[in-house]
Structure 1
Amino acid sequence: MNPPRVRIQTEDFDLSAEVDALRRQDPHVGAVCTFVGTVRDRNDGQSVSTMELEHYPGMTEKAIEAMIDEAARRFDIFGARVIHRVGLLQPLDQIVLVAVTSAHRGESFQACEFLMDYLKTQAPFWKKEQTPEGARWVDARASDDAALAKWGIQAVNA
């Protein structure tokens, strides 16, 4: 049985185990591209002590599944996995994993970047940072919207 393509979870993930599960017993795989996002200790020039992520259960998974389906339509990939953490996270904690397999590196790189650009602006997550000045909600940046636009997609939050 194949593991789910999308997981939203509070616990950390093991990059090696996830990549192994994605490519296991598929002799067609010639490339695996991964992206791991982590919590930074600074954002917009301010110190960040924690980040709290919230999501809309069911809706978030469905939106990410649709993103993976779109990546598979655009790129010649074999598989993809997205793991996104929610809850209270500290600097250095892993937040997100995007992993993609294909026959050749170009398709994996492009699909991985596409998925991350899509996730950054379109996935229904809400992020709140704790700074010395108090809590603040984090919005998508104009640069995130521009990254999505290069794929021919207009950000719905723009």
Structure 2
Amino acid sequence: MTRLTDQSALCITLCDATFDPYALIKQTQPIMPITGAQSIFIGYMRDYREDGAVTAMEIHHYPTMTENVLRTMGEAAINDFSLNQLVIAHRVGHVTPTEALVVISACAGHRANATQATQHLLELLKHQAPFWKKETAQGTTQWVKENTKNELQQPIHRVNSLDN
């Protein structure tokens, strides 16, 4: 596990081996007295795609590029959603079904800030983060050409501050 950024508000980690997402969150994000809400998303590798079973995936990245992009995304989310803490963790390397792929944990004073930040970051990671995926299925490998569509199918509204 490579921790790229570990500031008081932002922790970005690239994991090259199986990890426990709950232990990672507990280790990197102690709850602060100003925290009113924590929103956690954990994404796992599934064993299927539309045309059949998937047995493994390789996630490739360029370390410096990935670090810079994730840091920029994280810092923007902290500012845009008034977060007091943010953890972004992503797997790289060889992954098999049921292993955690991505963790986003956002803490804020209010639940809307935390939940909207988590959803926003998930969409950014899926569609803009520099990761390249190669799946193994039925004994052959192929590059993933595109991720699933934005599940919201609409622009994500940003929350700067909430009074309630």
In the alignment, residue 59 of structure 1 is paired with which amino acid? M
Cα distance change on mapping 1:82 and 1:90 into 2, 3 Å: same
- 1:1-150 matched pairs, under 5 angstroms: 2=7, 5-24=11-30, 26-132=32-138, 134-141=140-147, 143-144=149-150, 147=152, 150=155
User: Structure 1, residues 105-134: CA drift from partner, whole Å, max 9, x if none?
Assistant: 111000000111000011100001011161
- Stretch moving more, 127-136 or 83-92: 127-136
Cα distance change on mapping 1:5 and 1:149 into 2, 3 Å: farther
- Give the Cα separation in 1 of the matches to 2:111 and 2:31: 19
Aligned residues: 151
- Give the Cα separation in 1 of the matches to 2:65 and 2:153: 20
Paired residues of 1:120 and 1:140 also in contact (CA < 8 A): no
In the alignment, residue 146 of structure 2 is paired with which amino acid? A
**Mapped pair 1:151 → 2:152:** no
Q: TM-score, structure 2 length as denominator?
A: 0.82
- Give the Cα separation in 2 of the matches to 1:141 and 1:25: 33
Q: TM-score, structure 1 length as denominator?
A: 0.85
Q: CA deviation at 1:151?
A: 3.1
- Give the Cα separation in 1 of the matches to 2:36 and 2:27: 15
State the partner residue of 1:156: none
SS state at 2:19 partner? coil
Paired residues of 2:36 and 2:111 also in contact (CA < 8 A): yes
- Give the Cα separation in 2 of the matches to 1:110 and 1:2: 22
SS state at 1:140 partner? coil
More helix by share: 1
In the alignment, residue 151 of structure 1 is paired with which amino acid? I
